[in-house]
A and B are shown apart, each in its own frame.
Chain A
């Protein structure tokens, strides 16, 4: 079953061809202001997956990369799905992806879609994990390439506010 789906994806991809132009994804992530006794800025991971959930690329990773003795890396596993899909195979920090943690507010991230990306359905996943706090994973579904400008919004419930994806053809 899985194999078949892969095969279809491959055939479709081959048929429609890889996307010719570099397209830039914009992702907006709202981190809510939380009324808690002890607040730490959350660890945050943004990445791209294919329809089957296979990891395609990392978009951003925010964590305490500057802590003494790289102690910030100890908590990366708390971004559970990201750790499993990508993190556990990587060396840190990841060039061009790693950044410092951010507090409450709306944060913008951009990502140039790989040129060789096949047409099809993809998922942008946003995972937040906060020290002494909770964890949340929000998924945005997108079909690539796009013919007109799109904006996709998903609402987080606890650790994430509104998560938006903007893409122009």
Chain B
């Protein structure tokens, strides 16, 4: 249990998070998710946006981008570029199986009342959590001090040939594939399971939205909540790429935090039958 606490903090201190607090819809969007042939390439866009999937706000930086090959090797993004609205990179798939592309961060978030009742925060908007900075900045006996153990994850998957299993980090809110994310078809329900710090959890709120929101008036959000096994079953409303966002909060935190909160987002492609 103690070990479980130390690890995320260390990782958080090492990571330079690219995801800032105000990021509502941050995503990594693959152009294609199911591939065949010899060493095909996939191109990706990373952005924070309102409409899905348009580039209408800011890019997601690549600082904490981690790409795993099917056998767990770390791969570097190719042709990396960050513009005004998006970050772009390519990936060559040399081995058969599933590639896991993710950005994640963990850390503590503190809120307290400063002098004259002024609300104070650490990290502030746009700031990155660092353990030593946290120790310095946050007064241990401040009024109304509330510390949240917070985690974020944004990810996607692409497969060459037969999709393969991928591993969970056991940190923060994560998705475990019961139905493989690169094996999704209209007319077939997809089952996903949500884990918080390595344990399946009930009560994760999940919103699923098909791409093309700019071209329809109703965003047609599908809402789900995980059951006692941490599972949801999604009934896709048409083919396309989907944005899935999940959030979870409880009070099972490690001290000094009093609660833990996880957010998760992923992009999946659903193919026509």
Known: A84-B183, A88-B162, A89-B162. A76 touches B37 (CB 8 A): yes
Inter-subunit contact A71/B162 (CB<8 Å)? no
A71: B residues at CB distance < 8 A? 37
A109: B residues at CB distance < 8 A? none
Interface-centre pick from B35, B163, B185 (highest chain A CB count, 10 A): B35
A73: B residues at CB distance < 8 A? 36-38
Which residues from 148 to 187 on chain B have a C-beta closer than 8 Å to any C-beta of chain A?
Answer: 159, 161-163, 183, 185
Q: Mark B31-53, 1 if CB is under 8 A from A, else 0.
A: 00011111010000000000000
Known: A88-B161, A89-B161, A89-B162. A77 touches B273 (CB 8 A): no
User: A69 near B: Cβ within 8 Å?
Assistant: yes
User: B271 near A: Cβ within 8 Å?
Assistant: yes
Inter-subunit contact A83/B37 (CB<8 Å)? no
User: B272 near A: Cβ within 8 Å?
Assistant: yes
Inter-subunit contact A75/B38 (CB<8 Å)? no
Interchain nearest-CB distance for B175 vs A (Å): 21
Q: Could you list which residues of chain A lie within 8 angstroms of chain B, going by C-beta atoms? A: 69-77, 80-81, 83-84, 87-89, 137
Inter-subunit contact A74/B272 (CB<8 Å)? no
Inter-subunit contact A70/B183 (CB<8 Å)? no
Inter-subunit contact B37/A87 (CB<8 Å)? no
Q: Could you list which residues of chain B lie within 8 angstroms of chain A, going by C-beta atoms? A: 34-38, 40, 159, 161-163, 183, 185, 271-273
8 more A-B residue pairs beyond the given contacts A74-B36, A77-B35, A81-B273, with a C-beta to C-beta distance below 8 A: A73-B36, A74-B35, A76-B37, A77-B34, A83-B34, A84-B185, A88-B159, A89-B161
Inter-subunit contact B38/A87 (CB<8 Å)? no
The residue in chain B whose Cβ has the minimal distance to the Cβ of A77 is B36
- Contact check: which of A69, A81, A83, A89 meets B38 at CB < 8 Å? A69
B34: A residues at CB distance < 8 A? 77, 80, 83-84, 88
B161: A residues at CB distance < 8 A? 88-89
Inter-subunit contact A83/B36 (CB<8 Å)? yes
B40: A residues at CB distance < 8 A? 74
The residue in chain B whose Cβ has the minimal distance to the Cβ of A70 is B38
The residue in chain A whose Cβ has the minimal distance to the Cβ of B272 is A80
Interchain nearest-CB distance for A131 vs B (Å): 14
A84: B residues at CB distance < 8 A? 34, 183, 185
Inter-subunit contact A80/B36 (CB<8 Å)? no
Interchain nearest-CB distance for A51 vs B (Å): 17
B162: A residues at CB distance < 8 A? 88-89
How far does the alpha carbon of A132 sit from the alpha carbon of B273 in the complex, in Å? 19
Inter-subunit contact B37/A74 (CB<8 Å)? yes
The residue in chain B whose Cβ has the minimal distance to the Cβ of A83 is B36
The residue in chain B whose Cβ has the minimal distance to the Cβ of A80 is B271
How far does the alpha carbon of A102 sit from the alpha carbon of B227 in the complex, in Å? 51
How far does the alpha carbon of A81 sit from the alpha carbon of B159 in the complex, in Å? 15
How far does the alpha carbon of A77 sit from the alpha carbon of B40 in the complex, in Å? 12
Inter-subunit contact B272/A70 (CB<8 Å)? no
